[in-house]
Amino acid sequence: MNPDRLDPTHDPALRSWVSSAHVPGCDFPIQNLPFGRFRPFGSSEAFRIGVAIGDQVLDLRATGLIGDEDMNALMGHTREARQRLRAAISAGLAQGSDRQAAWSKALLPQSAVELTVPCRIGDYTDFYTGIHHARTVGSLFRPDAPLLPNYQWVPIGYHGRASSIGISGQRFKRPQGQTKAADAKEPAFGPSKRLDYELELGFLVGQGNALGQPISIEQAEAHLFGVTLLNDWSARDIQAWEYQPLGPFLSKNFATTLSPWIVTMEALAPFRAPFERPAGDPQPLPYLDAPSNRAAGALDIILEVLLQTAKMREAGEAPVRLTRVNVRDAAYWTAAQLVTHHTVNGCNLQPGDLLGSGTLSGPRPDEAGSLLELTLGGKQPIELPNGERRSFLEDGDTLILRGFCEREGAVRIGLGEVSGTVEPAQGG
């Protein structure tokens, strides 16, 4: 842990008067307090800012802690202001609080509300921080040189599409596009046959920066609001044909799925870890290096991937886990480094901008963050407990991401869940 980052909101002994916050395995104890946007089911009113506590949502405006500002405005506050708001929410939800009677009227069951994308996402940049993913994928296409020369020096990224981002429960049609078989003389058009998922984290920007004013590595985390689960769906066959020389396009922009909850950087304070490069690897250039980033730049978050096929769903069978990986072992670059590199040329970030981590895979085969890796490009299909096999995703498949933090001396917190379901291609 990092004692300098901890405060009374992280106290393991802290309890809430919301009883569901104490259920074993609960993602949203009082030590978490993630932000999202909600409205009652069936309502046409504007979405409001909520905080998850147990199986409830606290209407933040109804508590009197905020005015009429929207989520992006709240995210744009200074880190100190956000810390004060977190402390006030924590105190009001704590056992013995004199606000219990009033705030109990500001609670709604999560089962009774509609959630949406947690903030307005103006821009979306997806990075490529998972070095084990990069090596495995690179070895499939470039056996003699899996990592390109720039990988260990510069955080690689591309600009994604914000308009097709949805939240958990998203259903999308199988994408169509051009593909080209290795032995074909010309490309063909049709539905993707190699549809994949990508296990990622999404980092959401808080306070932005002015155009032309880079954010230093020492200040980068003050500009991050929080973290969400992210699935960057990928059509591998379309990607293979289109990505040279400018990178992904139609293979990525058809759908991206997020958790509806943003776990704040403050909530993650007990789960920070040292950022260390393997022996022999180049150290980051000075603008991407700082004592604070080395001491606690990494995140100790467990991520899991589960699959439920249509056949499993019809039989009432639970999803089966495909992957379990720790972000600490997967990411070659920290969130602070992504912010700093993104702005070093003067690029301006704004509250609500989304930075994807890229696929997070560990060093072991069962820690792969995509089917492309798990099946070695489709050459070794995985066999599910019910006898079905998968090389890539099929219509009707539901893919689920889960994430949580666990560490001795701290209360477990979760990132919620992200699910998405593949539907047949348009006209299919």
Q: In whole angstroms, what is the distance from residue 65 CA to residue 68 CA?
A: 10
Task: Tell me the residue type at 1.
Answer: M
133 is catalytic: yes
* Cα distances (angstroms) measured from residue 36 to each of 75, 190, 257: 11, 37, 15
- Which H or E run contains 88? helix 79-93
Q: In whole angstroms, what is the distance from residue 395 CA to residue 400 CA?
A: 15
* Cβ atoms of 216 and 157 closer than 8 Å: no
What is the CA angle 146-150-153, rounded to 5?
Answer: 120
Q: Say if residue 325 is exposed, middle or buried (CB neighbours under 10 Å; 0-12, 13-18, 19+).
A: buried
Q: Taking the C-alpha atoms of 331, 224, 216 and 79 in order, what is their torsion angle to the nearest 10 degrees?
A: -140
SS3 420: strand
* Cβ atoms of 248 and 158 closer than 8 Å: yes
Q: In whole angstroms, what is the distance from residue 218 CA to residue 207 CA?
A: 15
- The number of residues in the chain equals 428
Task: Tell me the residue type at 245.
Answer: P
* Pairing relationship of beta strands 107-109 and 56-59 according to DSSP bridges: antiparallel
User: Residue 229 has which token pair?
Assistant: 């689960």
User: Which residues, other chains included, contact 57 with Cβ-Cβ below 8 Å and sequence gap of 6+?
Assistant: 36, 38, 50, 51, 107, 108, 109, 110, 113
- For tokens 């599409």, the residue is 161
Residue from 3, 30, 38, 139 nearest 88 by CA: 30
* Cβ atoms of 357 and 130 closer than 8 Å: yes
Q: Say if residue 251 is exposed, middle or buried (CB neighbours under 10 Å; 0-12, 13-18, 19+).
A: buried
* Cβ atoms of 332 and 132 closer than 8 Å: no
Q: Which of 133, 223, 341, 342 is an active site residue?
A: 133
User: Residue 159 has which token pair?
Assistant: 């600009």
Q: Just list the catalytic residues.
A: 133
